[in-house]
Structure 1
Amino acid sequence: MEFNEYEALVVTLGEALKELAEEAKTKKISALGTDSEDFQTGYLSAFHRVITLIQQQADIYDVPLEKLGLDKIKETDLI
C-alpha cells in the first residue's frame, strides 16, 4: 500500500507518540518515591491525553487505529 505524504506523517507521529509514551511510563515507574515522581506522572498524563484524543478523533473519522500505529495502546497502559 502506498501512502501519501499526510498518511506517512500521521503514521510516523503515531509511532513516535507510542514510543515516547512507553518511555514516559518507564520513567514514571522508576521515579516512584523520588522528587521527580510528580513531574514524571504529569509528563505521562500529557501523553495519555494526546493519545486518547487522537484515538477518539480517529474513531469519529472511521480511521482504523492500526493505520496510526496506536491500536495496541490502551488507556490503562498510560496511567
Structure 2
Amino acid sequence: MDLRTLKHRNFTVSLVLMSAGFMAFLGSMILLPLYLQDLRGLSEPADRSARHARWSGDGSARPAGRQGSTTGSAPVRS
C-alpha cells in the first residue's frame, strides 16, 4: 500500500475523521443495547423495539429510489 497519499493534509484529516465517526457508529451499535438493558432496565423485546423504531426513522428520512437519484446531493452553504 502506497502511504504517500497520507502526505496530503486534506486526505489525512478526512481519513482520521471518517475513521473516528465509523468507530463511534459501531460503538453505539454495540453499547446501546447494553445501556438499554442493563442501566435502563428494559427487557430484550422492548430494547429491540426501541432500536427498531430508531432505525425505521433513519431509513424513512433518506430519499431513496427515483427521488434520491433525481435530486442528488445539495452543495453545503455557509
TM-score (norm 2): 0.40
Higher Cα radius of gyration: 2
TM-score (norm 1): 0.39
Higher relative contact order (CA 8 A, sep 6+): 1
